[in-house]
Amino acid sequence: MNKDNSTDARSPTLAVPSGRGSRLVRLGWMATGIAGGMVAEGARQLAQGNRPKVSDLLFTPANARRVADQLAKLRGAAMKVGQLISMDSGDLLPPALGDILGRLRSDAKAMPKSQVVSVLEANWGKGWEKQFKHFSFTPLAAASIGQVHRAQTRDGRDMAIKIQYPGVRESIDSDVDNVAALFRMSGLLPKEMDIKPLLRDAKRQLHDEADYVREGNYLRRYGELLADEPVYLLPQLHADLTTHSVLAMSFVGGVPIESLVDAPQTERDRAVALLFALLLREVFEFRLVQTDPNFANYRYDTDSRQLILLDFGATRPYKATMANEFRRLMKGAITGDRAAMSAAAIAIGYFDDTTQEKHRQAILEMGEQAFEPFCLAGEYDFGGSDLPARIRDGGMALGLDKTFWQLPPADAMLLQRKFGGLYLLAIRLKARVDLHAVAQAALASRKRSPPSHA
C-alpha cells in the first residue's frame, strides 16, 4: 500500500486527549491562562494610569485566543460547544471572543498518524492496510469530532474515510457541562444569556453525530429520497468498512459553498434556492431534516453545477404533527393570518394558555420576521438584509424578560437554527432569491415519501 505520510504545515497534527482526566486538565489550563492574562493585562493598564473594569480584563483578544486554542486542542464536544455558541450567539458575544470562536468552525487540528492508526486498528483490526492501494494520512478536513482521509481500495473504490477522535463519545456530557461551567465562571459569556437549551441540544446532537452507523443509514436514506433530483450529489455509503467510529463513503470533490461568493449572481442565486427548496422538502415531505447549518456540510461542483450534500450526523426525524403545524405557521405568516400562526405556535410549544398576551405577540412578531424572505413576493435581496440581527434582537429582548420562561421544544429550536444558518449563508453569498415562489410550491405539494427513518 502506498501511504501519504506528509503533514500539512498549515494544520499541524496534535493528539486528541481521550481520557476524562486529561480533558479536564486542559480546561483547567484554559482557566489558569485566562486568570494569568487578566493579571498581566491589569498590571499593564495600571502602569499606564488606567483603572480597568473586570470585564475589560476578561474580554481581551489574548483571553479569547486562549479559549479558542484550548477548545481546538480538545476537539470533541468541547470544541462543538464553542462552534454552536459562536454560530447561535452572534453579536451577543464580545467581538474578540465571537470572532475567534467563529474560527473553530473550520480550524480543528488533525490527529497524528499514530492515533489514526490506533483508531483504525480498533475498528478494522490489525492488517487493515492490506485492503487499500493507497491511504493518505494527511486529512482532507478536520472538524470537531472527526477528520476525513482519502483512500483507494484494492478493488478500485475512491473513498473518503471519516475517523472519529478517540474518547469523543464517552466525554460528550462531561465536556459540555465543564465547558459551559468554565465559560460561566470566567465571565466569558454574558450573565443574561441563557444557554441551557443550547447545551441540551448540543449533547443530543453530539451523541447522534458520534454514531457513524446511524449517520451512514441517513446518508443512504437521503440518497434514496433525492434519487429524483440530479441537482443534488451525495456520497455513496460503503457499509462494509463503516463502524460506529469510522464512516466510509465514496469521494466527492467540489469547492466550498462559500467560494461561490465570487461566482456570477445567477449561480449564487441558484445554489441558495436549491438549499431552501431542499429544506422545505425535508420538513414537509421527508419529515427528516439535516439540522446542522455548518457551511462545511455543503460543497458545489462547478462543472456539473450540482449541490453536494455532506455530513448527515445531525439528521433528525420529525413527526407528521410537527411538520403539519410548521406548515400552518408558515402559511399563516405568508398570508398575514395571525390567528392561524397563534394556533400553530401553541401546538408546536412556543407558548401556551398561561403566556401573557404581550409575550404571545412578541413571539408572533418574531415568527413573521423569521419567515420574511418567504412572505415578500419577488426576489429577496439577502445581501442588503439585516434579518438575523433583527431576529436576534427580538429574541434577546424576550429572553431578558424574567416574566417569560417558556422555551420551545428542541425540534423547533433545531429548525430555527437550520433556517438561520441558511439565511447567514445567503447573506454571505449576497443571493437574490424568490423564496416566496419556492414556499408556494412546497406548501402546495402533496407529494409524500414513506417515513422510513434509520
Cell triple for residue 198?
443550547
- pLDDT reported for residue 13: 60
pLDDT tens for each residue of 10-65: 446 655 544 454 544 444 444 444 444 443 444 444 445 554 443 443 445 565 55
Which triple of cell numbers denotes residue 395? 429574541
Going by DSSP bridges, is the β-strand pair 146-153/141-142 parallel, antiparallel, or unpaired?
Answer: antiparallel
Stretch 162-187: mean pLDDT, rounded?
76
CA angle 98/102/106 to nearest 5° reads 165
Block residue for cell numbers 458545489: 300
**CA dist 256 to 106, 160, 162, 271, 453, Å?**
11, 16, 18, 12, 29
CA-to-CA distance for 184 and 204, rounded, in angstroms?
Answer: 21
> Of 177, 175, 222, which is closest to residue 70 (Cα–Cα)?
175
For 283-326, how does the pLDDT look when each residue is reduced to its tens digit (9 = 90+)?
999 999 999 888 889 999 999 999 999 999 989 999 999 999 99
Q: Residue 285 has which C-alpha cell?
A: 415531505
Residue 434: count other Cβ atoms within 10 Å of its Cβ: 17
**Strands 132-136 and 2-4, sheet pairing:** parallel
Residue 154 identity: R
* Best CA proximity match to 205, nearest among 274, 115, 294: 294
In degrees, rounded to 5, the angle at the alpha carbon of residue 452 between the alpha carbons of residues 448 and 454 is 140
Of 52-56, 116-120, 340-344, 355-359, the one with minimum mean pLDDT is: 52-56
Residues forming a β-bridge with 69: none
More confident residue, 109 or 376: 376
pLDDT band at 328 (very low <50, low <70, confident <90, very high): very high
Evaluate if pTM is beyond 0.75: yes
Residue 292 is a catalytic residue: yes
3-state SS, residue 408 = coil
Q: How far is CA 14 from the centre of its chain?
A: 23
pLDDT at res. 32: 45
| pLDDT of res. 447 | 59
- Amino acid identity for residue 402 in this structure: K
Task: Please identify which of the residues 269, 292, 311, 411 carries the catalytic annotation.
Answer: 292
**Per-residue pLDDT at 152:** 97
Is-contact 39 63, C-beta < 8 A? no
Q: Which residue has the cell 447545551?
A: 199
Q: Rounded distance, CA 177 to CA 264, Å?
A: 45
- Which of 4-8, 100-104, 128-132, 328-332 is the least confident region? 4-8
Query: Cα–Cα distance between 272 and 369 in angstroms, integer?
Result: 19
pLDDT in tens, 366-421: 889 999 999 999 999 999 998 877 877 776 666 656 556 556 777 888 898 899 88
Cell numbers given for 124: 478494522
Sequence-distant (≥ 6) Cβ neighbours of residue 282 within 8 angstroms: 288, 289, 290
Q: Strand pairing of 288-290 and 315-317?
A: antiparallel
Per the model's pLDDT, the better-predicted residue between 279 and 167 turns out to be 279
Q: What is the pLDDT, as a whole number, of residue 190?
A: 55
* H or E segment and range at residue 417: helix 410-428
Domains of the chain, by residue range, sit at 12-107+171-206, 253-454
The H-or-E segment that residue 288 falls in is: strand 288-290
Enumerate the β-bridge partners of residue 306: 301
Across the chain, mean pLDDT equals 79
More confident residue, 90 or 255: 255
Residue 333 CA: distances (Å) to CA of 83, 182, 327, 434 = 31, 40, 10, 16
Cell of 347: 401546538
Distance CA 441, CA 188 (A): 45
User: Is residue 185 scored above 80 in pLDDT?
Assistant: no
Q: Which three cell numbers stand for residue 401?
A: 424578560
Q: What is the pLDDT of residue 68?
A: 57
As a whole number, mean pLDDT of residues 76-100 equals 50
- How many beta carbons lie within 10 A of that of residue 124, not counting itself? 16
